[in-house]
Amino acid sequence: MDQEAAKSESLRTGINLGAAAVLFLLLRLFAVTDYDWHTAFAVVHTLDLHDGIAISVGTVMADSVVGGVVLAVLLPLSTARVFRAGEQGARQGEWLVIVLLIAATVAYTVTNHAWWLPISSVVLTALLGWLVRVHRTGRLGEAVGFAVRRVGVIAVVALLCAAAVVRTPWVPLEKIDTTKGPVLGYVMEVSPGYMHVMQAGDRKLHIMLSSDVLAREELIGSH
């Protein structure tokens, strides 16, 4: 019975994650195309199977505000989850997640000079750690315990919210010098002889011949 229950739980988890992944992709497609159905359909054909990680990470990194908020929430919650494990010990994967979040926080802080992020993370981590250790009962303790236990769900919800509001695609903005003049846009796909470019202005997908392109320059820090 225990094995059947475990298999059933794994199946439900897999289905939920699959549904969340599809919803995430749809939200990203609509967000970057200003919720234009036809353009979103066109962008679908520029994607490959290996683009999933780039789209997920690019969603958080594309918008500095969203990225900062996600890090400010997930790092304290993940750390508090390790504190809550206590004597049972945390899983190795949980420690790896914390290390990854710390590295991302350092990079974000140095790049954006956002010193508020590490300060707020330390304060919130200390507060959650104290609440987990001291207030294990009562409504406050139950609320904190629920948030800490469901940090994975919170992360998924945060990604879905970001997917719905972040207009910046998962590729950098480029200045493309062409024979007809400069173009600002996002190169969604490069194929032999042509490339698909989403122009920054109208958010429409255009096909540009490679022979018309004179030079390409990434605009660092621009969206």
Stretch 185-195: mean pLDDT: 91
Stretch 159-187: mean pLDDT: 90
pTM of the model: 0.73
What CA–CA distance (Å, rounded) separates 26 from 116?
33
Parse the chain into domains and list their residue ranges. 2-165, 173-218
Place of tokens 């997908």: 205
**Arithmetic mean of pLDDT over the chain:** 82
What CA–CA distance (Å, rounded) separates 125 from 83?
10
Measured between alpha carbons, how far is residue 82 from residues 93, 99, 149, 207 in Å? 11, 12, 10, 49
Q: Output the pLDDT for position 121.
A: 87
Length of the chain: 223
Pick the CATH number of 173-218 from 2.30.30.100, 1.20.1260.10, 2.60.120.10, 3.90.1150.10: 2.30.30.100
